[in-house]
Structure 1
Amino acid sequence: MAKMRIAERYRLLWAVALIAVCGGPTQADDSWVVYAGGDGPGQGKRVVLVSGDEEYRSEEALPQLAKILATRHGFTCTVLFAIGDDGTINPKRVDNIPGLEALDTADLLILATRFRDLPDDQMKHVVDYIESGRPIIGMRTATHAFDLKKSKTYAKYTWNGKVPGFEGGFGRLVLGETWNSHHGAHGKQSTRGILAPGEQEHPILKGIKDGQIWGPTDVYGVRLPLPGDSKPLVFGQILTGMKPDDSPITGPKNDPMMPVAWTKTYTAANGKTARVFATTMGASQDLENDGVRRLLVNAAYWATGLEDKVSASADVSIVGDYHPLPFGFGGFKAGVKPSSHEIK
């Protein structure tokens, strides 16, 4: 019996090792999905990607981004979702994102939530991470990631927070802007990325050509100048239509153009300083564009201190099948479980 138990243990260890070597997904719980990192510069780095928005399909975008980071670049990625009572992904459920304790040991947070009203026991893991000095990437609606109507403990992080010294909440203080406006016509005018003058050599822009970045999402309005040490990397040129080769609109909305990607730092009350990258792009359809994917992958390298490993020719191609649904309220696919996003 003892020999049998030993043999069984060895078989289990080999199975776990095989999954890790192959970079396949491991499932710790039905509420989230984990992609073990394969070979690559990111090996050993743990990334937690938090989805949860009703409009831009972050529940589709973040699993794809995680697959790219894990299989092409070696990062181990955990993707979290808004989960309904039936155990399926439900972006309309604003008060439940299981698995946030993964942030306790994470090396990078990638956030793409919108107006979440999380309970204190979940929000604590987010806030502990934010105040730890570890890096943060915010995508699209992360500028207005939280709408904390119930919490008194963490109310200052809400998108329209009015706490003195923390006005504008997480979005404004940490990322650089909270929800402000649609600058382009939503659903009618798409976005072309124009590289900021003098920033073409920044590691996050490595391998990206001027105008290569494009997405069907519209440009968000931000207040200029962005606060603190914010450094715009990409400006959003508003186009006349929803195709990448459409011409720019004329008039004042493209003069000046709004930043759609920038870096900054966030220093917590405890003195710890984090690297921050924010982009107001990042809908699931935006990730069909190779420039957007490269921007996000490069940002993950930069955020985790691997900027010297960024390669202009790094593989940022789609992993598996990827056919994202159009953005819009009420358009998510119901009945999908996190396990549906495993690599087949």
Structure 2
Amino acid sequence: MAKSILSTFLLILFIHITINESFAQSKKAPLVVFVTGDHEYSGEHTLPLIAAELEKNYGFRTKVLKAYPDQNAEKDIPGLEALKDADLAVFYLRWRQLPKDQLDYIEAYLKTGKPVMGFRTSTHSFNYPKGHELEKWNAFGEFALNSPPGWGGKAAHTHYGHESSTDVSIIPAAAKHPILTGVAPSFHARSWLYRVLPDYPTKGSEWLLMGKSVNPDKAAIENPVAWTGTNSFGGKVFMTTLGHPEDFQLEAFQRLVINAIHWELGKPVPKKWKGKIDINVPYRGMTK
């Protein structure tokens, strides 16, 4: 009888210790906060699938924030206070006009010098009217992501037409960068190529991938589509102008993103790829 009680006690103690250790480890796991709201590319659907993969197979904690009540709502992204605890902030935004109290959370995060990641339209995350007290945020792409400061303008930030697509290739000088581990040397992406040259990415950025427009609607030049660097706040940057929902179906793009998240957090890229992620989000375009 005594042995039975002792065995039961030891089993309960073991379970208790295991749960506590698991809880402690989960608390130590890096927190990746995804901030979405892009009108067109369904970032609020693709990025949660990346987040789920990070939690399931790579030991991260994640939180996905979405524009409310839908992707077209430009003035509210609830939950941005989560950035206070974030180890990495990932942005997929387009032409938001968030109130100052919400921007304050983003600004506070940037000022910590923690890493930042951006997708596609995050080059023009904000669109405040000229003269607005928050107009400086229209240049978020430049001061946070080493990209052009908003759409058009002096930077001539544009694209080569919705009917075009992009041939992507690894830039030879960057071939050994950890982010490119396991990424196919070349692949075809549905995203129409963004023009960021000649003045961007900002000086000091390292170009990783080059894009060549296929079936452009105007004379096209090759442009970098992914780069790293250090932003105005001293934070590590990974930025890609890819991000069409069909791009997320590509194993090469999936590996790029998972690797980049590890790299930004100072962790080794996965030695063993867990396999292609099931992402099948349709492109909806601009919808009301």
Taking the TM superposition and a 5 Å limit, the aligned residue runs for 1:1-344 are 44-84=29-69, 90-149=70-129, 154-158=134-138, 169-176=139-146, 177-178=148-149, 179-180=151-152, 181-186=157-162, 188-212=163-187, 214-226=188-200, 227-240=202-215, 253-254=220-221, 257-268=222-233, 273-306=234-267, 309-311=268-270, 313-318=272-277, 322-330=279-287
- Higher deviation after alignment, 97-106 or 58-67: 58-67
Does the aligned pair in 1 maintain the 2:158–2:196 contact within 8 Å? no
**Aligned mates of 2:54, 2:131 — CA distance in 1:** 34
**Aligned mates of 1:141, 1:252 — CA distance in 2:** 22
Compute the TM-score of the two structures, normalised by the length of structure 2. Answer: 0.83
Q: Deviations over 1:132-158 (max 9, x none)?
A: 100000001100011234995543111
Compute the TM-score of the two structures, normalised by the length of structure 1. Answer: 0.70
What is the number of residues matched between the two proteins? 264
Give the CA RMSD over aligned residues.
Answer: 2.8
Q: Deviations over 1:96-136 (max 9, x none)?
A: 10000000010000000100100111111011111210000
Q: Deviations over 1:248-294 (max 9, x none)?
A: x7x9624xx100000110133xxxx1100100011222100111111
Structure 1, unmatched stretches of 5+, are 1-9, 22-36, 85-89, 159-168, 241-248, 332-344
**Aligned mates of 1:316, 1:182 — CA distance in 2:** 34
- Percentage identity across aligned positions? 32
* Aligned residue identity for 1:219: L
The 1:125–1:170 alpha-carbon spacing in structure 2 relative to 1, beyond 3 Å, is same
- Higher deviation after alignment, 231-240 or 110-119: 231-240
* Aligned residue identity for 2:211: G
Query: Secondary structure at the residue paired with 1:253?
Result: coil
Residue 175 of structure 1 deviates from its aligned partner by 1.2
**Aligned mates of 1:329, 1:252 — CA distance in 2:** 25
Q: Larger % of helix: which?
A: 2
Query: Secondary structure at the residue paired with 2:208?
Result: strand
**Aligned mates of 2:43, 2:266 — CA distance in 1:** 25
Does the aligned pair in 2 maintain the 1:236–1:258 contact within 8 Å? yes
The 1:196–1:127 alpha-carbon spacing in structure 2 relative to 1, beyond 3 Å, is same
The 1:48–1:316 alpha-carbon spacing in structure 2 relative to 1, beyond 3 Å, is farther
Does the aligned pair in 1 maintain the 2:244–2:283 contact within 8 Å? no
Does the aligned pair in 2 maintain the 1:61–1:282 contact within 8 Å? no
Query: Secondary structure at the residue paired with 2:117?
Result: strand
* Aligned residue identity for 2:105: H
- 1:336 paired residue number: none
* Aligned residue identity for 1:76: R
Query: Secondary structure at the residue paired with 1:198?
Result: helix
**Aligned mates of 1:282, 1:43 — CA distance in 2:** 30
**Aligned mates of 2:241, 2:179 — CA distance in 1:** 15
Does the aligned pair in 2 maintain the 1:47–1:76 contact within 8 Å? yes
**Aligned mates of 1:207, 1:225 — CA distance in 2:** 30
